[in-house]
Amino acid sequence: MFHFNILVQGKVQGVYFRASTKLVAKKIGLKGYVENRADGTVYIEVEGNKEQLDQFLDWCNRGPKNAIVEKLSSADGPIINYREFTIRR
């Protein structure tokens, strides 16, 4: 099990990024959360196995249809054992 902290920059708010992220994460079988930040970025904490997270990061680099992802950064974090994937804020 791995935990990633992901920050997505670009045109990522007002394009259903959070809702789409939740759908994709649940489809892949990941747990964690997604939230909009005041600076216009989207922040994600997600947990799963390496294959699931690789697939998720690939999607995050594109995002939903109207998003324009300019930069994505991810870092390992401590396992929290989230029970589901939720949208915050």
Distance from the Cα of residue 65 to its chain's centroid: 15
Catalytic residue among 36, 37, 49, 83: 36
Whether 36 is catalytic = yes
43 forms bridges with which residues in the sheet?
7, 35
Whether 18 is catalytic = yes
- The closest alpha carbon to 48, from 27, 28, 34, belongs to 28
Catalytic residue among 18, 49, 61, 81: 18
Phi/psi at 71 (nearest 5 deg)?
-155, 140
Q: Could you tell me the two tokens for 42?
A: 């989207």
Which residues does the annotation mark as catalytic? 18, 36
